[in-house]
Structure 1
Amino acid sequence: MFISTARWAATPAGNAVVADKSDAAVEEECGMKGEQARGFRPAIILTVVLFFLWGMANNLNDILIAQFRRAFSLSDFETSFVQQAFYIGYFVFAIPAAIVARKRGYKTAIVIGLTLYGIGALLFYPAGHYGEYRYFLAALFVIASGLAFLETTANPLIAELGDPAGAARRLTLAQAANPVGTVAGVLIGKYFILSELGHDPAQIAVMAPAARTALLREEVAAVQLPYLAIGLVVLAVAVAALLVRFPRHRDEAEGAGLAGVASVLRQPVLRFAVIAQFFYVGAQVGLWSYTIRYAQANVAGMIERSAADYLFASLVLFGIGRFVGSALMARIASATLLAVFATVAALLTLVAAFVGGEPGLWALVAASFFMSVQFPTIFALGLRGLGPLAQSGASLIVMAIIGGAVLTGAMGRVSDLAGINMALLVPVLSFAVVLSFARMAARRA
């Protein structure tokens, strides 16, 4: 959803939600006209880079799950700790990041976020040296804490940088960098982390102890250099941010604070939107986290590097779905389109669960197309009509991303007990919740 001038609420997927505001009001609030804002062009470019960087970090996790499962001989539930550590970091630092951005300004929040991101990536090197899973989880938590600062800051910053009439165009450009980052993350993982050779647990178990130890050490060490390079690049961007001029952020206090949260919780659509977002994020993160695992379990002889191609295809379809969904919304009510996409995603996931094999794998890949519009549409429908309470409502919906940790863990537990195919029933349930929300929002509309 795009309009010419807006206040934007940041989301973990690089999406944005808008609350209408007149051009004059935004110009007055930002303290700049379009001509004055030309001096902030470096800040716009740097902020676009942020969208790329956090997209890359998010989808590298899907590669790490496959790598760590073999390297540390983990169960599916234990591999879900990757996403749990990551999304708990988001959950814990989202509110502190917003406070820092409001009190100390955009530049401070961005530099802190990039510094934490860079440090977390560099921590992969000592974690690989010691070869303990818990150290990698701690490093992922630090990365996610930095991303919480970046995502809380980037969307409202893009809206304020430059002529208010061009806010939608600037945000569209910035969001285009996010899927590019997600694809880059998968490609980095495929070619620089995942092994060209397949080693299933049975093969590893029969190796001589010395050979098995050497192989597993090599698998753990494979993540060191890619994350070292990422950490150095991110810290270089942090130094660049110190040298770039940013506008002064002015926060509007109306509807903020505990009173605003208490008021907005009395809105039934908003309450249901928080629940729906919890389940949707859990479904998205869970499906992508276990795509490689599913491919290996359902297609004989599939190795991790080949299975990563299906994750890559999922992300490409997800990006295409964003554009198609946006075009369809010009003709179809957003709640109706959300209901259709959630239904089709649930049906495709059911095919993956009960048919399996290559048909099931392609059904799982195709489901990503129909996940594409769900996050931003839930967000927008939940905030509809809240007025000055929109910021408080947005904060609650953003916190619902903790579903990525909870439901990925649930899928891992079900997979250990009943197999990876049956674990897909967790996202099927999640899409059913989204469908119920869409029907309620349609009735309210």
Structure 2
Amino acid sequence: MYPSATNPKFGKALAVLTSLFFMWGLITSLNDILIPHLKALFSLSYLQAALIQFCFFTAYFVVSFPAGALIRKIGYKRGIIVGLVTAGVGCALFYPAAGAQSYAFFLGALFILASGIAFLQVAANPYVLALGKPETASSRLNLTQAFNSLGATLGPLLGATVILGIAGSQANSASNAAAQASAVQTPYLVLTGILLALAAAIWLIRLPVIEEAVKPVSKAASKSSAKKGGVWAYRHLILGAIGIFAYVGAEVGIGSFLVSLMGQPQIAGLTPEAAGRYLSIYWGAAMVGRFIGSALMTKIKPARLLAFNALMNVVLIALAMACSGHIAMWALIAVGFFNSIMFPTIFSLALEGLGEHTSEGSGILSMAIVGGALVPVLQAFLADHMNILASFAIPLVCYLYIVHFGVRGHRVDADAAAAAAKAGSPVGAAAATR
């Protein structure tokens, strides 16, 4: 059941959800600042530093399905509150982790923080889709995605100033390690307060009660899907899940190592604080590209635009690896612009024609976000054993796969299309954002 878009509660609910997308965009991009900070603090290898993203995105794989089951029982609103409180606890644990100067403690706090954000993803994405008519779902998602990108843009700017800047100014102090560790305490305590305040506000605000957006409507549709072997029989969904894995892995991998790359003398020789500010351009370009891509999709098929953007990223990464220097830096920053439409486009193409299996398919795609945990680790292995610029060959391969998905892999087979028609499901109405 979709509430009317004219319902006065609709605008309030969408505003609340938009604030959530902003917050988790900011928190997720702060990881790109934590990596060089903790790498220097604990004298880590690139592989050891990549455990930051590994712990963060592994939480999506571990938590997504249990979160979905719990949210079905307690509802979207309470699910969002659980996610906010859990994320707040994770942020609060940064204070004792810094006090103990324990990398393992930091990783545990990150896992708890990411578990809360995974809850928010599972609850908030379908809530946005359901707040209005199915045909306007895309515009609502583009709005929330833009604010997610805004948060991701501000995260590195704030992190460069309040974490890398403070740590750098205290680098020569008598208690160097303690001073640098404490640089994360105040920012994450502030985030704790904001997250808990949002949880309290949502508890007090009356939000629309949303039923499941996609339900089986006929025995014929159920039999048709049963013959196909359930959700796992949809080939384009499985290929889409691989696409989500590849995209999130590539995006996170590039963001994770850009600050370190820009600090290399043969690239730009920037300080961590300066490089962190340039990193915000990478995420800001995604926000700009999202608005442009949304407009282009009214005239260009989403799959074609997806393939084009992925191909452009292949060219940009190859250019960076071939040229080095400032050309490499700006080519990799430009990748952010072409990343813009990839996640929601892969997500929506993968869910086409799933009918009653749409919610299950969404869960599978959410689990595939674990690519953000595994791909950066592989990239870090190459960085340690070859060099950091050569390690960008891993994201290049990921984008090559996305080219394939945009050209051929997204196509829905005839049986799936027939099943969707019988179920009367909206095609391509569902999508999500990181």
Aligned-residue RMSD, C-alpha: 2.5
- C-alpha displacement of 1:166: 6.1
Give the Cα separation in 1 of the matches to 2:31 and 2:134. 36
- 2:5 counterpart of 1:38: no
Tell whether the 8 Å contact from 1:40 to 1:245 is kept in structure 2 after alignment: no
Tell whether the 8 Å contact from 1:381 to 1:441 is kept in structure 2 after alignment: no
- 2:111 counterpart of 1:144: no
Among 221, 236, 244, which residue is 2:197 paired with? Answer: 236
Give the Cα separation in 2 of the matches to 1:438 and 1:296. 35
* Within-5 A mapping of 1:24-173: 29-30=1-2, 32-33=3-4, 37-39=7-9, 41-161=11-131, 168-173=138-143
Call closer, same or farther: CA 1:334–1:166 in 2, change over 3 Å. Answer: closer
Call closer, same or farther: CA 1:83–1:262 in 2, change over 3 Å. Answer: farther
Structure 1 match to 2:377: 409
Structure 1 match to 2:338: 370
Call closer, same or farther: CA 1:164–1:318 in 2, change over 3 Å. Answer: closer
Among 351, 354, 357, which residue is 1:389 paired with? Answer: 357
Structure 1 match to 2:298: 330
Give the Cα separation in 2 of the matches to 1:405 and 1:361. 23
Give the Cα separation in 2 of the matches to 1:343 and 1:160. 33
User: Structure 1 vs Structure 2: percent identity of aligned residues?
Assistant: 36
Give the Cα separation in 1 of the matches to 2:227 and 2:70. 19
Structure 2 match to 1:318: 286
Aligned residues: 404
- C-alpha displacement of 1:212: 8.2
Call closer, same or farther: CA 1:114–1:410 in 2, change over 3 Å. Answer: same
Which has the larger displacement, 289-298 or 55-64?
A: 289-298
- C-alpha displacement of 1:197: 7.8
TM-score, normalising length: structure 2: 0.86
Give the Cα separation in 1 of the matches to 2:125 and 2:109. 25
- What is the one-letter code of the residue matched to 1:368? G
Structure 2 match to 1:246: 207
Call closer, same or farther: CA 1:174–1:328 in 2, change over 3 Å. Answer: closer
Give the Cα separation in 1 of the matches to 2:134 and 2:11. 14
- What is the one-letter code of the residue matched to 1:299? I
Call closer, same or farther: CA 1:261–1:224 in 2, change over 3 Å. Answer: farther
Q: Matched residue of 2:43: which SS?
A: coil
Call closer, same or farther: CA 1:407–1:165 in 2, change over 3 Å. Answer: closer
Call closer, same or farther: CA 1:326–1:248 in 2, change over 3 Å. Answer: closer
- 2:321 counterpart of 1:353: yes
Call closer, same or farther: CA 1:146–1:323 in 2, change over 3 Å. Answer: same
Call closer, same or farther: CA 1:278–1:172 in 2, change over 3 Å. Answer: closer
Structure 1 match to 2:427: none
Call closer, same or farther: CA 1:443–1:39 in 2, change over 3 Å. Answer: closer
Alpha-carbon deviations, 1:7-47, whole Å to 9, x = none? xxxxxxxxxxxxxxxxxxxxxx24x5456x32465433322
Alpha-carbon deviations, 1:248-280, whole Å to 9, x = none? 232355399x97995222222222111122111
Tell whether the 8 Å contact from 2:236 to 2:411 is kept in structure 1 after alignment: no
Structure 2 match to 1:400: 368
Among 151, 165, 182, which residue is 1:221 paired with? Answer: 182
Structure 2 match to 1:23: none
Give the Cα separation in 2 of the matches to 1:391 and 1:80. 31
Call closer, same or farther: CA 1:344–1:92 in 2, change over 3 Å. Answer: same
Alpha-carbon deviations, 1:357-377, whole Å to 9, x = none? 111101111111112122122
Which has the larger displacement, 293-302 or 339-348?
A: 293-302
- What is the one-letter code of the residue matched to 1:225? T
Call closer, same or farther: CA 1:343–1:165 in 2, change over 3 Å. Answer: closer
Gaps of 5+ in 2: 414-434
- What is the one-letter code of the residue matched to 1:287? I
- 2:309 counterpart of 1:341: yes
Tell whether the 8 Å contact from 1:71 to 1:217 is kept in structure 2 after alignment: no
Which has the larger displacement, 174-183 or 281-290?
A: 174-183
Call closer, same or farther: CA 1:260–1:247 in 2, change over 3 Å. Answer: farther
Give the Cα separation in 2 of the matches to 1:119 and 1:259. 42
- C-alpha displacement of 1:213: 7.3
Give the Cα separation in 1 of the matches to 2:167 and 2:97. 23
Gaps of 5+ in 1: 1-28, 205-210
Call closer, same or farther: CA 1:171–1:268 in 2, change over 3 Å. Answer: closer
Call closer, same or farther: CA 1:425–1:122 in 2, change over 3 Å. Answer: same
Structure 2 match to 1:424: 392
